[in-house]
Each structure stands twice: as structure tokens, then as C-alpha cells.
């Protein structure tokens, strides 16, 4: 008998993207599923949009308990209402390709994975998205190599909360999102709990399954990565200094390299090696040549700035996201509605 998948979409003020996400979800074929949208105290048209879709179950996130983040509260509410043997947690800013849910379920079963997470293809529109995202995701790929994350012999664990497919019994056995209620990086925390419990996880880049545009303007990009970067990288200050040092070195020797090539002093091509090194490092992020070049020219200092901004925000013990301000430990300090 084919298992039922419960798709859980937390949504807080997502009127810009929710309809596209739900269109892509209800069009899935080849698998039995239900779709649950959890309205997390939205003040825009999020609720109205969800209600306009036939077959979508709309529930409320409910009051936000002490020491819970808003997203954890919302997805936990969705999980309590879910009937499926598998749970798919996915964000309202995702676009799911045709047949991707059935393929994901098959991939999990073929690889004996109890927990499958996809890193979506990132859609970038604005200049700062194009400059920053390749650097961020290249460094994430270096910090959390999917091959190690997917290796049962390795202790490395990671996930992308935009797409997590997990067996219901495994999810419940580790305490679900209640066990990571105060974690701002709930996806990584949940992956660590699942792997530490002896269950198998699988993690990969999945442009063949899901796409997303995470941030739609500079302010969202700045605040989103400020919330996350210091938690994703163990030494954000050191990494920022390393990035800036290589970027300044690359620009410092660039005129020498270019002029030497123009004069056919080919031995001086060595002055272009910093750019080659950085380009190879950024290329692991799966972006095209245009975005890689933009990231090389402008993205590294932006990434360094975001790392330092994130480090400072966490040191000060307060983070702001979607109208809510949290302490470093996840306690709600203030909420906007």
C-alpha cells in the first residue's frame, strides 16, 4: 500500500509566494498526499490565498509558547494535525517541480533514508542576491559536504528546512520540533537529532526537484543571513577575515596579472591565481558563470559583512525576523503582528 505523505507549509505573511508554492504542490502526481498550510499569525493575504485552494487544510499555529521560535511552533502544529506516514516540511517560498514528491519518496526508500533533505536551486533576481548567494552556498557546501552528511559512518549532519521529508515514526521518536523548539536553525538541529539516534539521513543539492527565492530584497537578505550565519559557521569572525584577505589580495595583484598578459609575460599569470582559487571555491555552489563572476567581484566582502553582523547580533543576544525579536536561545522578546 502506498504511504500517505503529509505536506506541511508554515506561512507567516507569505502573500508574495504562497500561491505559486501551493500550485506546484497540488499538481504533484504518483503519490498520495495531503497538504496542510499553517497560518502563523499572518497580517497580509496569506490566509485568504490558502483558503482559495480546494483540498488545502488550513490551520492556525496557535499561541507561541515561551522559548519556541515561530517556525518551530507552526510546523509542530502542522505535524500534530498530519495523518501521513511521511512528513514533508517545506517553506512557502518554494516551487516544486512536477513529480518531485514521488521521486523524493522513491529516493528515500531506495537509499534506506529515514530523513531526506534537499538544498533547492536558488533563484536570484536582485544584484545583492546574485552577489551573495553563490558565496554563502559555496561555503555551506564546504562546511557541510553532502557526501559526509549522507554517510552513516560520519557524524556530520545538516539539512535545509525548505525541504525535509522524514518518516513520521522517526520524527516522533526524536521528539519532533518540540525537541528543538528554541533552535533558530531547527533544520540542522533536527538532522543532528535524527542522525545521533542511529537513523539514516540523506542530503543533496536538488535543482531537479525544488526551487526557491529565499529573499526578495536587500533587507530580507541581510536579516535572514544575520539570523543564520553565525550558527552555521563555527568561527564566523575568522572566516570573514579569511575571505576579506583573499579578496583584497586578488584585487591587489589583478592589474599586474592583466598587464603582464597584455605584454605576453606569461610567467606573471601567477598573479591571477588568487582569482582562480576563489572561482574554484565558489563554483561548488552550482550557480552559473555570470553569478560566479558577480560573486567574485562583489560577494566576498558582502559575505564577510554578514558574517560579522551575524556574530555581533548573536553576541548581543537579540535577532529580528518577520516582526519577531528573539534572544540567542530562541526566547521571544517581542512580537509584531
Specify the DSSP class assigned to residue 165: E
What burial class does residue 337 get, using C-beta atoms within 10 Å of its C-beta: 0-12 exposed, 13-18 middle, 19+ buried?
Answer: exposed
Start-end of H helices in the chain = 18-26, 46-51, 70-81, 100-110, 127-143, 146-149, 168-173, 186-196, 218-232, 236-262, 273-283, 289-294, 300-316
The answer to whether 132 and 294 are in contact (CB under 8 A) is: no
Could you give the CA distance from residue 113 to residue 142 in angstroms, rounded to a whole number?
22
- Flag whether pLDDT at 337 surpasses 60: no
Question: Structural domain boundaries of the chain?
Answer: 4-120+160-215, 236-335
Mean per-residue pLDDT of the chain: 92
Give the model's pLDDT for residue 319.
Answer: 82
CA 286/CA 298 separation, integer angstroms = 18
Indicate whether 268 pLDDT > 90.
no
Q: Give dist(CA 209, CA 121) in Å, integer.
A: 8
Position 260 scores a pLDDT of 62
SS3 category, 88 = strand
Q: Is the pLDDT of residue 73 over 50?
A: yes
Encode pLDDT of 276-319 as tens digits.
899 999 998 989 999 999 999 999 999 999 999 999 999 988 78
Residue pLDDT, tens place only, 206-240: 999 999 999 989 999 999 999 999 999 999 999 99
Q: What is the pTM of this model?
A: 0.92
The band of 89, judged by pLDDT with boundaries at 50, 70 and 90, is very high
**55-64 pLDDT per residue, tens:** 999 999 999 9
Please state which architecture CATH assigns to domain 4-120+160-215. Answer: Alpha-Beta Complex (3.90)
**Dihedral class, residue 286 (left if φ above 0, else alpha if ψ from -120 to 50, else beta):** left
As a whole number of angstroms, the distance between CA 249 and CA 251 comes to 6
Location of C-alpha cell 563555527: 234
Give the residue with greater pLDDT, 127 vs 262.
127
Residue 160 phi, psi (nearest 5): -115, 115
Is pLDDT at 148 greater than 80 in this prediction? yes
Amino acid at each position: 500500500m502506498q504511504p500517505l505523505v503529509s505536506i506541511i507549509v508554515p506561512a507567516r505573511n507569505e502573500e508574495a509566494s504562497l500561491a505559486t508554492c501551493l500550485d506546484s504542490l497540488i499538481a504533484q502526481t504518483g503519490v498520495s498526499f495531503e497538504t496542510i498550510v499553517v497560518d502563523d499569525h499572518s497580517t497580509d493575504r496569506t490566509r485568504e490565498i490558502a483558503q482559495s485552494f480546494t483540498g488545502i487544510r488550513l490551520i492556525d499555529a496557535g499561541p507561541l509558547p515561551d522559548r519556541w521560535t515561530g517556525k518551530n511552533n507552526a510546523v509542530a502544529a502542522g505535524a500534530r494535525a498530519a495523518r501521513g506516514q511521511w512528513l514533508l516540511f517545506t517553506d512557502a517560498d518554494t516551487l516544486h517541480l512536477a513529480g518531485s514528491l514521488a521521486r523524493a519518496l522513491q529516493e528515500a526508500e531506495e537509499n534506506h533514508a529515514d530523513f531526506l533533505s534537499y538544498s533547492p536551486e536558488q533563484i536570484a533576481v536582485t544584484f545583492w542576491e546574485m552577489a551573495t548567494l553563490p558565496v554563502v552556498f559555496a561555503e555551506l557546501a564546504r562546511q557541510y559536504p553532502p557526501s559526509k552528511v549522507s554517510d552513516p559512518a560520519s557524524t556530520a549532519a545538516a539539512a535545509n528546512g525548505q525541504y525535509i521529508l522524514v518518516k513520521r515514526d522517526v520524527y516522533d521518536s526524536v521528539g519532533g520540533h518540540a525537541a528543538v523548539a528554541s533552535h533558530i536553525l531547527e533544520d540542522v538541529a533536527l538532522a543532528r537529532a535524527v542522525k545521533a539516534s542511529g537513523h539514516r539521513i540523506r542530503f543533496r543539492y536538488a535543482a531537479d526537484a525544488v526551487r526557491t527565492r529565499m529573499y526578495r530584497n536587500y533587507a530580507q537578505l541581510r536579516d535572514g543571513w544575520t539570523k543564520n550565519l553565525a550558527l552555521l559557521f563555527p568561527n564566523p569572525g575568522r572566516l570573514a577575515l579569511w575571505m576579506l584577505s583573499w579578496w583584497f589580495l586578488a584585487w591587489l595583484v589583478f592589474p599586474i596579472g592583466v598587464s603582464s598578459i597584455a605584454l605576453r609575460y606569461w610567467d606573471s599569470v601567477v598573479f591571477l591565481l588568487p582569482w582562480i582559487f576563489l572561482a574554484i571555491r565558489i563554483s561548488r555552489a552550482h550557480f552559473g558563470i555570470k553569478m560566479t563572476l558577480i560573486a567574485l567581484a562583489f560577494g566576498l566582502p558582502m559575505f564577510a559583512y554578514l558574517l560579522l553582523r551575524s556574530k555581533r547580533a548573536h553576541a548581543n543576544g537579540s535577532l529580528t525576523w518577520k516582526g519577531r525579536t528573539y534572544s540567542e536561545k530562541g526566547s521571544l522578546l517581542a512580537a509584531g503582528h
